[in-house]
């Protein structure tokens, strides 16, 4: 699966049009269960709202959207198009509408749902998902600084070290790049580098 963009966590944005309030809420969701779970939480938090329009796009290729009672193509489609325009996946976006008593017409609905959806996406933190491995290595204190420098020079992302009887370094790097670093560490530690490496998985990097 190729690298892709998604969002971290959740974000919200509120748009008002002729006394109707449109609340866009977007969340990371990498499964259909996660997407529907977020939708149900938004619905539960907005029980008195007239509509909870939604769309989600998963990296697996699964795409789904709903107008939730609004005229066809005035709500769910604009929300879906906002996600696609942002170029993200593994994302669910719900726009909750509190009706203000004034009809907006089809053009007004499209504009309002687009504005709420786009605003929520603009408020979200975008992240790049890559195939990565997480690594760990425990070294004597005397070897900590040279080993840390080797890991940083390899372009890996280090976590905070753990200091005990030895120093444990943990880092993340793109899958396929760990071999060269492990070899350099083994050479620096004279064959004593016992690096643990996780199987490749998708994560922010």
The string of pLDDT tens digits covering residues 86-95 is: 999 999 999 9
Give the tens place of pLDDT for each residue, 184-203: 999 999 888 899 999 999 88
Question: Shortest CA distance to 117 belongs to which of 95, 100, 97, 138?
Answer: 95
CB 93 within 8 A of CB 22: no
**Could you give the CA distance from residue 57 to residue 184 in angstroms, rounded to a whole number?**
41
For residue 27, pLDDT beyond 70: yes
* pLDDT number for residue 198: 96
Residues 172-185 have a mean pLDDT of: 94
Residues 6+ apart with CB under 8 A from 15: 21, 22, 24, 112, 115, 116, 119
Residues 178-186 have a mean pLDDT of: 94
Task: Say what the alpha-carbon torsion angle 153, 159, 161, 167 is, to the nearest 10 degrees.
Answer: -60
Separate counts of helices (H) and strands (E) for the chain: 5, 12
For 128, the 3-state DSSP assignment is strand
CB 82 within 8 A of CB 93: yes
For residue 36, pLDDT beyond 70: yes
The model's pTM is 0.79
* pLDDT number for residue 111: 96
For residue 2, pLDDT beyond 90: no
CB 29 within 8 A of CB 90: yes
Which stretches of 38-180 are assigned E, i.e. beta strand?
51-57, 63-66, 91-98, 125-139, 157-158, 162-163, 167-174
């Amino acid at each position: 699966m190729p690298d892709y963009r998604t969002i971290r966590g959740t974000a919200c944005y509120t748009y008002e049009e002729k006394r109707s309030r449109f609340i866009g809420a977007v969340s990371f969701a990498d499964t259909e269960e996660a997407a529907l779970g977020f939708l149900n939480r938004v619905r539960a938090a907005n029980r008195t709202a007239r509509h909870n329009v939604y769309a989600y796009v998963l990296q697996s290729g699964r795409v789904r959207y709903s107008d939730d009672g609004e005229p066809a193509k005035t709500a769910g489609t604009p929300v879906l198009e906002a996600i696609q325009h942002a170029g993200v996946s593994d994302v669910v976006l719900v726009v909750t509408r509190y009706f203000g008593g004034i009809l907006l017409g089809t053009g007004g609905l499209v504009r309002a749902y687009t504005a709420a959806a786009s605003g929520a996406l603009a408020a979200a933190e975008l992240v790049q998902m890559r195939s990565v491995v997480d690594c760990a290595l425990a070294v004597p204190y005397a070897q900590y600084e040279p080993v840390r420098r080797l890991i940083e020079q390899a372009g890996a992302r280090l976590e905070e070290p753990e200091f005990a009887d030895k120093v444990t370094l943990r880092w993340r790097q793109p899958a396929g790049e760990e071999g060269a670093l492990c070899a350099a560490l083994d050479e620096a530690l004279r064959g004593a580098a016992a690096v643990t490496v996780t199987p490749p998985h998708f994560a922010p990097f």
